[in-house]
Structure 1
């Protein structure tokens, strides 16, 4: 095998790497476009299909000592369940300070339930009455 065979193998390797990079880029774009629906704090009505996931985006600054919780009364577990949360410090939230917290939910089965989120420090009994606490209320319809 001479230098022409080596050059041909290098070209094939470069083509294979380029195709792999293109496939990774396409997968990344499709994943972002087909990700869960995102609702903002100002939206109070959420409609999703059974099995669908969605996120609620709220302004959050972990340094202020407050955190977001699903508050009582809890949503009907046959309709909706909380599946986690994540913070995106790079994305400016609707209020323009801190970062954006995404609270993740999964629609379990058909029905309608209320979802109450509470931004609190102690987050114990009576947390809704503590100074600086605030709540968000949503009506979630799965069907």
Structure 2
């Protein structure tokens, strides 16, 4: 072996490791990015003014299943709707597969309010959007609650 020396690998990686550490410090690596998500299992939401949060629900639009934000609307001085969106799995774009339906909100003022969501399995509701309502089924003998429309109420408490 001749008297050649090589630069240790760690000296070449040190600037990279330093840069990665700096990026993590600035972007909160390892922490949850984005708004907090809630589903039907957690209907009590606590937030601070400025926080964003999302209600998310599994859906099967190909089977006629939808979720709607319905009246009464939440107090607009406490919570503001940031819109609704869907994320579809599978091919074919909108309605091309199962997916998730999202309702996005921002906490804008201290107080407590409610957000009301209607779940409509296939053929259980009339209307769309805020005017959707369950179909009357007074003569139905179906006792399977999974096949019935139902309301979910989320209580939102915002602290300043």
Shorter-chain TM-score range: 0.5 to 0.7
Aligned to 1:19: none
Tell me the matched-pair count: 117
- Structure 2 residues without counterparts, runs of 5 or longer: 1-19, 90-96, 138-147
TM-score, normalising length: structure 2: 0.59
| SS state at 1:70 partner | strand
User: Would the alpha carbon gap of residues 30 and 102 (structure 1) be closer, same or farther in structure 2, given more than 3 Å must change?
Assistant: farther
Q: CA deviation at 1:32?
A: 8.1
The answer as to whether partners of 1:128 and 1:135 remain within 8 angstroms in 2 is no
User: Would the alpha carbon gap of residues 49 and 29 (structure 1) be closer, same or farther in structure 2, given more than 3 Å must change?
Assistant: closer
Aligned to 1:94: none
| SS state at 2:151 partner | strand
**Once the two structures are superposed, what CA deviation does each residue of 1:80-118 show, in whole Å capped at 9, x if it has no partner?**
12212232334xxxxxx9322221111111110011101
Aligned to 1:18: none
| SS state at 1:86 partner | strand
> Is residue 42 of structure 1 aligned with residue 58 of structure 2?
no
| 1:61-100 equivalences in 2 (<5 Å) | 61-90=60-89, 98-100=98-100
Task: State the superposition RMSD in angstroms.
Answer: 3.3
The answer as to whether partners of 1:47 and 1:140 remain within 8 angstroms in 2 is yes
> Is residue 127 of structure 1 aligned with residue 159 of structure 2?
no
Query: Does 118-127 or 42-51 show the bigger shift?
Result: 118-127
Superposed structure 1 runs of 4+ greater than 3 Å apart: 25-32, 123-126, 128-132
Separation of aligned partners in 1, 2:150 and 2:62: 17
Separation of aligned partners in 2, 1:77 and 1:62: 29
Aligned to 2:59: 60
TM-score, normalising length: structure 1: 0.65
